[in-house]
Structure 1
Amino acid sequence: MSLPDTEAVTTPAQSTESRGAEPGKDGVQRRTSVRWRLFLLLLVLVAVNYIDRGSISVALPIIQKEFNLAPELVGLLLSAFFWTYALMQIPVGLLIDKFGPRKVMTASCVGWGAATAASGMAGGFLSMFIARLGIGVTEAGVMPAGGKLNAIWMHKSERGRGATILDAGAPLGAGLGGILIAGLIAATGSWRSSFVIAGAATVLMGLAVWWYVRDNPRQHRGVNAAEADYIEASHAAEDAEAEKEGSKGKRALLPYLKFRSFWAMCFGWLGFNGVFYGLLTWGPLYLAQAKGFDLKTIGWSTFVIFGAGFVGEILGGTIADKWRAAGASANRVMRTLLGISSVVVVGGLIGVTVVADPTTAVVLLSVVMFFLRWVGLFWSIPSILGGRTNAGVLGGAMNFSGNISGFVTPIAVGLIVGATGSYTWALLYFVGSAIIMGASVLTLNYNKRLPV
């Protein structure tokens, strides 16, 4: 991943006199690159989010034994987070559009850090279930706020990379979480202590967000006039194009429900999360029960699988932006990349169902995750369809749809495994989710803002 430290741009003379915007030796204005550093902070934040979110999956073989949980109760426990997380998406999206992403994201961090620490004090199934509900409520604002910041801070030509840098924190956190939580459990001798430590780290991340994130580039003391002008020029061009196409920029959700692209966005994210959350929640237990891995091997295998997803997501965003910059239409770029992603994911998951060798299964799951995470480009879609005004609520609607898979999938897999004693049909459930994803990414129109 290559992020520029400084970038050349010619701006009006008056802009060079403000906020440290000194011209270079060649007389060309050098704009700052605060927007990239801000998104690197968001990548770390989302990684911590997924370390906390997935910590229970890594510790689950121990928790299941300690609490004496049947597979059906394991599925219910894994789904608890997603119930409240999904239900909060649209309300929190409206709050982001009204109050700004900085306040909502900071409050999210502090709240979910406290809830994660509380989950380490659970005495049984019920108290752990309640703690996971609390984590779902408090984490809900992070991704929609990130989508809003992508609309506010990124030039139109950079939003593919912005979206995938943001969303790449998910596989990075899931991968690192496998090692970190397993390591903390081994070091402290307790899964409870590892949850408390993870919660404290999250509260510190909230303080970092408040310190560095701003709701407008010109509010950030590190942004010079050249960078602000560059971003605002892109906004002005988008607004002019939207006005020409009849978009009024009203802050609302209901008017979008009549458009095919809105539903394609929602179902695409639902299908994507049917695969991703299935592997995130049940993957470690699958490796333990179906492949005989111990805790240490589960940690490293999880790191390899989700680490491949991190690399794939960053690469996908870079390819998308560079292809667009070369003159390709948004529809051609997105439908081609995401169509390829869907085909590979379906084929790879079918392959996992028929291979017996544990190493081959990990390799195939790594390939699946590498291409699956290309769909992280979806975090640029709320700003494409709704502009800056409605990026928060559209991001919330998209994430609400995706997290329907979050609470359905763990329960469904638990019922399937409990009924069949095997993971084969669970993997085929993931195949069905990938097919829904594939149909949706090919249906969505990525070329213009919806006329709302």
Structure 2
Amino acid sequence: MSVTYENNSVKRIRMSTRWRVITLIFVLYTINCIDRISLSLAMPGITKDFAISPEVQGIILSSFFWAYCAFQLPGGYLVDRIGAKRVLGVTSIFWGFFAAIGGLAMGGFTLILSRLGLGAFEAPFMPAANKIVAQWLPGSERSRGITLIDSGAALGSAVGAIIVSSLIVWFGSWRAAFLITGIISMVIAYLVYRRVKEHPHEHPAITEKELEFISSSSHEDTHHAGVPSNGDSIGKSNKLSILFMFLGRMGFAMVFFGLVTWGPSYLVHERGMSLQYSGLATFFIFLAGTLGEISGGIISDRFRGKATFSRTLRLLFLASGTVSLLSLLSLGHIQSSFVAVAVICIGFYFEMFGGLYWLIPGMIAPHKNIGFVGGVLNFAGQVGGATVGIVSGIIVQHYGYSTMMYYYAGCAALYLVCSQFIKLKNQ
């Protein structure tokens, strides 16, 4: 009995140590991602101050992704070269800096420059976070780890919707909101950098039991993960799976970033909400997405290692794409703003099961090619983010917000269909 109690105590310490590190990364990502929704909420005021058209708005909202795409490879190289912790710390501080100076913009051009800076310094975050997850968590916990961190993007948008809309109302200026949230991001980035360690053995609270558990489980996972193959190349069927993965991720990202960039404007202009009510509605939408992504990770980990794991993942993607598609299609037939927001919340909850796409590279590619396939996956998401803002602006200017939502439904359909053609293998 005492041995059991001791083992349980060790387990509690072990969990609190490695998951404390993952939680810190999640918090950092959540705080920093407030900037994603801040521009969208401030866009009505920016439009009035700078007299810009919806098409120009689309360019400004998409400019972040241009630099994000361009700095993916350099960012990944730096993670391998100087370490995930340093990259996270330095880039996150500059990330907050560029968010803050956005409040000093004197026109559309200078605002674009600040967004380019944001994109450049955010680019290495997920590669660095993935590396920390791989170094700190055993294979049986990585689904939860990576989906928890990735859900910070949705939660940051949710929290940011409340914070930024309130700051704009209180100070009567979107500039003050940018400056305050940017400074907070820099402070949090510094504090997290001080507490996070690159490797488990460097953490003062780590135990020998935990180190042994992480290293033995990680070794076993590395040995068995990936697709059984001759170890030399990606097969023809896997190349098709990579293509479907690329298109599916792009469709998913266009729905996500479409709602991030144009969702608040849709609520204000199409649904007639005030800034405060649109901020509250946006909070609930992205909170639902956060819970959805975390739920997907929990469900996935429960089936990990079982013969039905790939089938479970496919069913999760099927539910995700189907509900997301139906919710977006139904918006044009809903008159009540309250019901419309509720429907978007339900759709976005299931949509965010798509965070499990981060598991796909290890299930369709040989171990030696997982990094490359992961890069393709990340690039697909950024292509979606870079295009959806511009296309949405053109659609809004010429056809209206209702048509924009039908466009997002088409993106959800792409995500739904392509996800079912990916040939997943059990890990």
TM-score w.r.t. length of structure 2: 0.91
User: Which residue number corresponds to residue 100 of structure 1?
Assistant: 83
Q: Find the aligned partners of 1:209 and 1:392 in 2 and give their Cα distance.
A: 26
Q: For the Cα contact (< 8 Å) 1:90–1:393, is it kept in 2?
A: no
**Larger deviation: 203-212 or 163-172?**
203-212
SS of residue paired to 1:312: helix
Which residue of the partner structure matches residue 326 of structure 2? 347
Counterpart amino acid of residue 137 in structure 2: M
Paired position in structure 2 for 1:310? 290
Q: Is the 8 A contact 1:102 1:209 kept in 2?
A: no
Q: CA deviation at 1:115?
A: 0.6
Measured on the aligned residues, the alpha-carbon RMSD in Å equals 2.7
**1:177 and 2:160 are equivalent in the alignment:** yes
Counterpart CA distance in 2 for 1:221 and 1:238 is: 26
Corresponding position: 1:380 with 2:359: yes
Query: Per-residue deviation at 1:446?
Result: 3.7
Report the AA paired with residue 324 of structure 1.
R
Do the aligned residues in 2 keep the contact of 1:353 with 1:424 (CA within 8 Å)? yes
2:58 paired residue among 67, 75, 93: 75
Contact 1:147–1:379, Cα closer than 8 Å, also in 2: no
Match of 1:288 in 2: 268
Q: Is the 8 A contact 2:303 2:309 kept in 1?
A: no
Q: How does 1:21-60 map to 2 (within 5 A)?
A: 25-26=5-6, 30-31=10-11, 32-33=14-15, 34-60=17-43
Hey, what's the Cα distance between the residues in 1 that align with 2:258 and 2:174? 22
Deviation at 1:275, TM superposition (A): 0.2
CA shift, 1:125, in A, is 0.8
Q: Following the alignment from structure 2 to structure 1, what is the Cα–Cα distance between the partners of residues 250 and 227? A: 32
Residue 267 of structure 1: how far off its partner (Å) = 2.3
Letter in 1 for 2:36: R
- Write the deviation string for residues 72-98 of structure 1: whole angstroms up to 9, x where unpaired: 111111111111112222332233233
Aligned to 2:414: 436
Q: Structure 1 residue 382: deviation in Å?
A: 4.4
Q: Are positions 1:202 and 2:185 aligned together?
A: yes
Shift of 1:445: 3.6
CA distance in 2, matches of 1:48, 1:389: 34
Q: How does 1:107-256 map to 2 (within 5 A)?
A: 107-241=90-224, 245=228
C-alpha distance in structure 1 between counterparts of 2:157 and 2:115, whole Å? 17
Deviations 1:326-381 (A, max 9, x none): x3433112101111111111111101122122111111111111101111122334
2: distance between equivalents of 1:138 and 1:95?
Answer: 12
1:118-152 CA-to-partner distances (Å, cap 9, x unmatched) read: 11100111111111111111111112222222222
Against the structure 1 CA distance between its residues 446 and 147, is the aligned structure 2 distance closer, same or farther, given a 3 Å change threshold? farther
Q: How far has the Cα of 1:448 moved from its partner?
A: 5.5
Counterparts in 2 of 1:416-431, with a 5 A limit? Answer: 416-420=395-399, 422-431=400-409
Of stretches 356-365 and 200-209 in structure 1, the one that deviates more from structure 2 is 200-209
In structure 1, what residue type is equivalent to 2:71? M
How far apart are residue 239 of structure 1 and its match? 3.2
In 1, Cα distance between equivalents of 2:366 and 2:84: 15
Conserved 8 A contact 2:226-2:362: no
Match of 1:6? none
Distance, in Å, in 1 between the alignment partners of 2:255 and 2:73 is 22
Indicate the residue corresponding to 1:271 in structure 2.
251
CA shift, 1:215, in A, is: 2.7
- Show the counterpart of 2:45: 62
- In 2, distance between residues paired with 1:176 and 1:25? 39
Bigger CA drift: 383-392 or 46-55? 383-392
Secondary structure (helix, strand or coil) at the match of 1:259 reads: helix
> Could you give the per-residue CA deviations for residues 407-437 of structure 1, whole angstroms, max 9, x where no partner exists?
11111011011112x2122112111211221
Mapped contact 1:163–1:378 kept (Cα < 8 A):
no
- Look up the SS of the partner of 1:444 in the other structure: coil
- Residues 158 and 321 of structure 1 are in contact (CA less than 8 Å); yes or no, is this contact kept in structure 2? yes
Instruction: State the Cα deviation string for residues 24-63 of structure 1 (Å, max 9, x = none).
Output: 7556782412221122112212212221122100111111
For the 8 Å contact 2:364–2:423, the answer to whether it is kept is no
SS at match of 2:162: helix
When residues 247 and 52 of structure 1 are mapped into structure 2, their CA distance, relative to the original with a 3 A threshold, is farther
For the Cα contact (< 8 Å) 1:79–1:407, is it kept in 2? Answer: yes
Give structure 2 stretches of 5+ with no counterpart. Answer: none
Could you state the TM-score of these two structures normalised by the residue count of structure 1? 0.86
Flag the structure with higher helix content: 2
Q: Which amino acid aligns with 1:290?
A: E
CA distance in 2 between counterparts of 1:219 and 1:385 reads 33
Whether the 8 Å contact between 1:330 and 1:446 is mirrored in structure 2 is no
Per-residue CA distance 1:164-185 (angstroms, 9 max, x = gap)? 2111111111111111001112
Distance in 1 separating the partners of 2:127 and 2:260: 20
- Determine helix, strand or coil for the equivalent of 2:104: coil
Q: What amino acid sits opposite 2:421 in the alignment?
A: T
- When residues 227 and 440 of structure 1 are mapped into structure 2, their CA distance, relative to the original with a 3 A threshold, is farther
